[in-house]
Amino acid sequence: MLEVNDRPGLRESLRAWKLAGQKTVLVPTMGNLHAGHLALVEAARQLADRVVATIYVNPTQFAAGEDLENYPRTPDSDREALRHSGCDLLFAPTGETVYPHGVEDAFRLSAPQGLASVLEGESRPGHFDGVVTVVSRLFCLVNPDAAVFGEKDYQQLLIIRRMVDDMGFDINIHAVPTVREGTGLALSSRNHYLDPAQHAAAQNLFAVLQETAALGAEVDADFFCLEEQAGEQLRRLGLEPEYVAIRRAGDLELPREGDRELRILAAVHCGTTRLIDNISLK
């Protein structure tokens, strides 16, 4: 596995693959890799000749008071995990590589408000502006044929797809289903903050979403009532919901009569740890 952290090294590493006509797929991450990230790498290996993974903790998507400084960083184990998963190139840029003129003087993108101001965007203003800013920069630096994102961050996935379409990036975006523990808890870098009791409580999130999806599939289901009931159930199970929302899968707008493809999305606090999850409702 090749490893580079600057722009000239990245260009040099990619040039031979491009000249040989090999296709490249990008797996953007912020490190602290777990089985969910490695599932993205495995999916990427099926899509192209070469897999490029990035590790960069992007400051522009963290709001004041969020856990930028405390975000877990495990570069040595990440490197080994990628090497054993079949990654061809690890691009772990410095801040100067991603933002050569500094974060404050950097050109930035803004995500469309219709998608970015609801749910996660309401809870974390400006978060998705930071996401599209850094992902667009990684797209320009790596110039991949495809990129892979997980469905756990479903709103992010929709926003990235919209950005690619709106800005004309010639990149195919592939979604990988959420990887879960045997209990159903979605894998997340933040799970390691949970103590044993909190970990047990967090497992209830997926179960409540499943129950809500089953009820929502019934004829004449009242989605607003289901959201309220799910929130109350989560509280009884030791979780503090930030939101539970049933939305249209394609644009996160409120469901309309005749809509068939929906998504249930939730964010909860378990102790001091914030967790998100979502599942399909058809």
- Segment 212-226 mean pLDDT: 94
Q: Which has the closest alpha carbon to 160: 195, 194, 116?
A: 116
Task: Tell me the pLDDT band of 65, cut-offs 50, 70 and 90.
Answer: low
* Per annotation, catalytic residue among 34, 37, 199, 269: 37
State the Cα torsion 145-76-203-39 to the nearest 10°. 30
Of the candidate ranges 58-72, 118-132, 167-181, 230-244, the one whose mean pLDDT is the lowest:
58-72
CA 29/CA 26 separation, integer angstroms: 10
CATH code: domain 189-281 is 3.30.1300.10
What mean pLDDT comes out for the span 27-49?
Answer: 96
Average pLDDT over residues 233-249: 98
Q: Copy the structure tokens of residue 121.
A: 């965007």
* CATH 3.40.50.620 intervals, the chain: 2-176
Q: Which two tokens stand for residue 276?
A: 């998100």
Average pLDDT over residues 215-244: 96
The pLDDT, as a whole number, for residue 68 is 79
Is this prediction's pTM over 0.85? Answer: yes
Q: What residue spans of 145-253 are helical by DSSP H?
A: 154-167, 196-202, 204-216, 223-236
- In this model, does residue 72 exceed pLDDT 90? no
199 is catalytic: no
List, by residue range, all CATH 3.30.1300.10 domains of the chain: 189-281
Task: Name the architecture of domain 2-176.
Answer: 3-Layer(aba) Sandwich (3.40)
Block residue for tokens 């009791």: 197
Task: Kindly report the average pLDDT of the chain as a whole number.
Answer: 95
Which residues 6+ apart lie within 8 Å of 105 measured at CB?
none
**Residue 9 CB contacts under 8 Å (≥ 6 apart), including other chains:** none
